[in-house]
Amino acid sequence: MLDIAKIISITLLYSAPLMFTAMGGIMSENAGVVNVGLEGMMTIGALVGASVAYFTGNPWIAFLAAGLAGMLLALLHAIATVTFHADHVISGTAINFIGPGLSLFLCRLFFDGAAMTKTVAQGGTMPKVFAGVFPKNSFWDIVLSQHITIYMAFALIGIVWFMLYKTKLGLRIRAVGEHPKAADTLGINVNRIKYFSVLIAGMFAGFGGAAMSIAVVSHWRITLISGQGFIALAAVIFGKWKPQGALAACLLFGASQGLVVYFGGNPNVPLELLNMLPYVITLVVLILFVGESRGPAANGQPYIKD
């Protein structure tokens, strides 16, 4: 039972960054803006989160700063795609180059030429919930004594679902993603909705990066994110652009990472195969289960007001 508890614990730990970032992808793409730049936004968020946590010792300030960093990078994507009608995939690809490059530059600037940040002190990482509540090393202690980012990620999924499907703002976002011209004729400011959604997506992706750098680990390095943004994007597609579907995908992909960590010390299992597992599972899921899934009708299409 304790082995199962450890796998569940690791699954939740690695699912949280994916959940934050996937919710960003859902916000952006429901408004009609394809966002393949989540990886770059996660990366800059992870770097800023770890750096601010190291220098201030306050994880909450670091977490917010990471979200703002992701939002600033998302602003470039919004300007390119919404204002100048650039191709969404090309713009997102550029963001994925800018994010790691800028992160490495800032890391070398802040940490005397080093390619990774210094380790964040224990008080500078995100606090744990239910620590000491259950008997030490019991099943529930291992499963529930987790960083608060995990509980925040689950809460965010509920908030995004409620906002998209139960509020006027959510209806407008979905209307812009499905038929922006019709939304425009009803008096909805299409560009404003798109900007809002892309910026929120960047903030959530920044949160996802911080969940890696000040919760899962206590530092930033150039390979820390290493495809997590693309896996989160795959979760958006697997979940059919809905928060609840993306949640299931994030847990699945988090479980694959949990198995990698759990079996990592087993000499009978090749490390190279384990490292491939999350990406192989992502491809298999996309091939077998997504099928002819389609996102919002106007997703990726530039809107030029008549």
Helix, strand, coil percent values for the chain (each to nearest 5): 70, 0, 25
Two structure tokens written together for 27: 């916000």
Residue 279 pLDDT class (50, 70, 90 cuts): confident
d(CA 174, CA 193): 10
For the chain, the domains span 2-290
Which residue do the tokens 């809905």 mark? 242
Q: Give per-residue pLDDT as tens, 188-211.
A: 999 999 999 999 999 999 999 999
* Model confidence, pTM: 0.94
Identify the DSSP state of 218: S
Q: Give per-residue pLDDT as tens, 137-153.
A: 898 899 999 999 999 99
Contact status, residue 27 vs residue 233, Cβ threshold 8 Å: no
Mean of pLDDT over the chain: 92
Q: Give per-residue pLDDT as tens, 101-122.
A: 999 999 999 999 999 999 999 8
- What number is the average pLDDT over the span 60-77? 98
d(CA 198, CA 56): 29
Contact status, residue 193 vs residue 176, Cβ threshold 8 Å: yes
- At residue 220, the 3 state secondary structure works out as coil
d(CA 147, CA 129): 6
Its CATH class, for the domain covering 2-290, is mainly alpha
Give the DSSP per-residue string, 1-32: -HHHHHHHHHHHHHHHHHHHHHHHHHHHHHTT
- At residue 146, the 3 state secondary structure works out as strand
> What is the number of other CB atoms lying within 10 angstroms of the CB of residue 240?
14
Give the DSSP per-residue string, 148-201: HHHHHHHHHHHHHHHHHHHSHHHHHHHHHHH-HHHHHHTT--HHHHHHHHHHHH
